[in-house]
Structure 1
């Protein structure tokens, strides 16, 4: 079968479009014919050697949607989607024509999502779902989501379903306008020192939960936090270090929750996909738009573009 594969790390030039042997499903596994596979920044970082536990040679790719062609009879012929920490790191991933994984690691694809749409959602939506779950966002939680990227957008949509009070924050005026057009209360980020006043103007006493999807607003988020509030983070500055105003945090009884999608295997991710996937079919979650569908054969070019900061959501199609 055709696949993208790398045998060394450190340079995207190591990624090649090659012929590899067809995978074979073992006991308790499924063989999925890939119809579409999402390309995430973590896939690019994987080839660049940012994950020391990756084993080589390796086919990258975490997110996918496709059809089960081998495995338990109840699953054969079913349209499925999936994601998980194994894929692309210590098991071959989805940037290929076929992939094998645990039969419990696939979820039924929502019928309202195309294969490309489903393949674009795995990492962003499971990350956002985990952030809301672990920071205890429920009905009436006063939530601030910082950042309007894929994870931030997913968090806003999922929090709305939970009945939370939602405030969005973005840097650029056009992003704020877009969020407001979607029906969200939104503020524009500028001076970190102003964030607490901006949030308190909306939530008297601060936000119960602040989800920073950018990695740059943790220090500024602490003064904007309500007593016993939680700050969820998924990113950090390049050097991994940030000055945390610990005195202000503990005086509020606050806590910081680290969100890492690579802590969850395919079976855990499938359970998440099953929980929120039905909301797409019920019309409660927005269907993805503006996807860039690209042939798998052009994957090397797409990897390079994502590495250079392209904001388009790329979906590779075998």
Structure 2
């Protein structure tokens, strides 16, 4: 089978196309034929490391956390999926050398494999994983709930999604709307505003507007209930100005800088909760709950992808994985997908 590997950190050029044998799943494992793989910022960050030429934890690594395909074989004890099932994958490469989705066949733990609803495409399945589970977690950390998403779970809540044109922002808008929230999002340009509107945000604002606080407060006079934050260093003053008493700010990225200065007294007075979100360490229970809600949303027609729903798709062949990484690393808007095998 064809697989992409890298044996040292560095530029996209360290990614190499090789031929490898197809492995059999062991107990608790599943082998999936990948149809489409997704590429996320976490993929190029892992590949790049903190410096070029670093030694890896393994001799070489197959990248790619997200993907969708068809179950080919299951090991002993696997009950959540069966041979022939259409599935989506999450955290495929986490702490594993050769289970990433940038290959034709992946053997990975069954708890990282989830049934793909019949009405969902492989493109949708490959676009879930990191973005959708991160968005789910960000929407379920507030002190006043909900702890799980379902239709009506966010009824009466106002959610502010920073960076609504990104992949996580897109999923957060869609999941929040599915759960009944009023969604405000901030973007940087008219073109991104069109994407966020297509995703379903009811209020799309330009974060550089001088009256941005006033605009948000007119929509939510008591303040917003929850902020899904991609750039805390840049937005901390805005967030404090619009969060309600006992509101929560869920931080899932460090765009704009690693250091945040907070006004302690003003945060005290509002009982604000900051919740940092990293998918890899949230725990298996959260991942399972997220996958169940994501699948329910898919069945209901939420989490669509494509430019018409706010998430343009950029496609590459498996042999072009280095180009796919480079495009994500350049900050391209939309979702980068790799066509691995024929559907």
Same-fold call, TM cutoff 0.5: yes
In 2, the alpha carbon distance for the partners of 1:311 and 1:114 equals 21
In 2, the alpha carbon distance for the partners of 1:295 and 1:88 equals 23
Which range moves more in the overlay, 23-32 or 173-182?
173-182
Quick check: 2:8–2:56 contact (8 Å CA) kept in 1? no
2:236 alignment counterpart: 218
- Structure 1 residue matching 2:139: 3-state secondary structure: helix
Aligned-pair CA distance for 1:262? 2.0
> Do the aligned partners of residues 266 and 49 (structure 1) sit closer, same or farther apart at CA in structure 2, a change above 3 Å counting?
farther
In 2, the alpha carbon distance for the partners of 1:141 and 1:183 equals 14
What stretches of structure 1 of length at least 5 have no aligned partner? none
Quick check: 1:125–1:155 contact (8 Å CA) kept in 2? yes
Output one character per residue of 1:167-224: Cα deviation in whole Å (capped at 9) or x when no partner: 1221213333444454612222115x74432221111121111111234312321121
1:121 alignment counterpart: 128
Quick check: 2:137–2:286 contact (8 Å CA) kept in 1? no
Quick check: 2:177–2:183 contact (8 Å CA) kept in 1? yes
The residue correspondences of 1:128-277 to structure 2 (distance < 5 A) are 128-135=135-142, 136-137=145-146, 138-148=154-164, 149-180=166-197, 182=200, 184-190=202-208, 194-215=211-232, 216-237=234-255, 239-264=257-282, 269-277=287-295
Q: Return the match for 2:57 from 51, 55, 58.
A: 55
What stretches of structure 2 of length at least 5 have no aligned partner? 147-153
Q: Return the match for 2:93 from 79, 87, 95.
A: 87
Quick check: 1:59–1:88 contact (8 Å CA) kept in 2? no
Q: Does 1:18 align with 2:15?
A: no
Quick check: 2:71–2:85 contact (8 Å CA) kept in 1? yes
- Structure 2 residue matching 1:70: 3-state secondary structure: strand
> Do the aligned partners of residues 230 and 180 (structure 1) sit closer, same or farther apart at CA in structure 2, a change above 3 Å counting?
same
In 2, the alpha carbon distance for the partners of 1:104 and 1:88 equals 12
Aligned-pair CA distance for 1:297? 0.9
> Do the aligned partners of residues 172 and 251 (structure 1) sit closer, same or farther apart at CA in structure 2, a change above 3 Å counting?
same
In 2, the alpha carbon distance for the partners of 1:151 and 1:183 equals 14
Aligned-pair CA distance for 1:90? 3.0
Which range moves more in the overlay, 44-53 or 12-21?
44-53
In 2, the alpha carbon distance for the partners of 1:251 and 1:8 equals 49
In 1, the alpha carbon distance for the partners of 2:172 and 2:183 equals 10
Q: Does 1:280 align with 2:289?
A: no
Output one character per residue of 1:241-300: Cα deviation in whole Å (capped at 9) or x when no partner: 121222211111111111112224678535422322132222244344432221101111
Quick check: 1:166–1:185 contact (8 Å CA) kept in 2? yes
In 1, the alpha carbon distance for the partners of 2:196 and 2:227 equals 17
Which range moves more in the overlay, 176-185 or 210-219?
176-185
Quick check: 2:69–2:87 contact (8 Å CA) kept in 1? yes
In 1, the alpha carbon distance for the partners of 2:121 and 2:330 equals 28
1:299 alignment counterpart: 321
Quick check: 1:29–1:103 contact (8 Å CA) kept in 2? yes
Aligned-pair CA distance for 1:239? 4.7
Which range moves more in the overlay, 284-293 or 263-272?
263-272
Quick check: 2:230–2:254 contact (8 Å CA) kept in 1? no
The residue correspondences of 1:101-120 to structure 2 (distance < 5 A) are 101-120=108-127
In 2, the alpha carbon distance for the partners of 1:132 and 1:108 equals 22
In 1, the alpha carbon distance for the partners of 2:302 and 2:102 equals 30
In 1, the alpha carbon distance for the partners of 2:294 and 2:132 equals 9
Give me the CA root mean square deviation: 2.5
> Do the aligned partners of residues 126 and 202 (structure 1) sit closer, same or farther apart at CA in structure 2, a change above 3 Å counting?
same
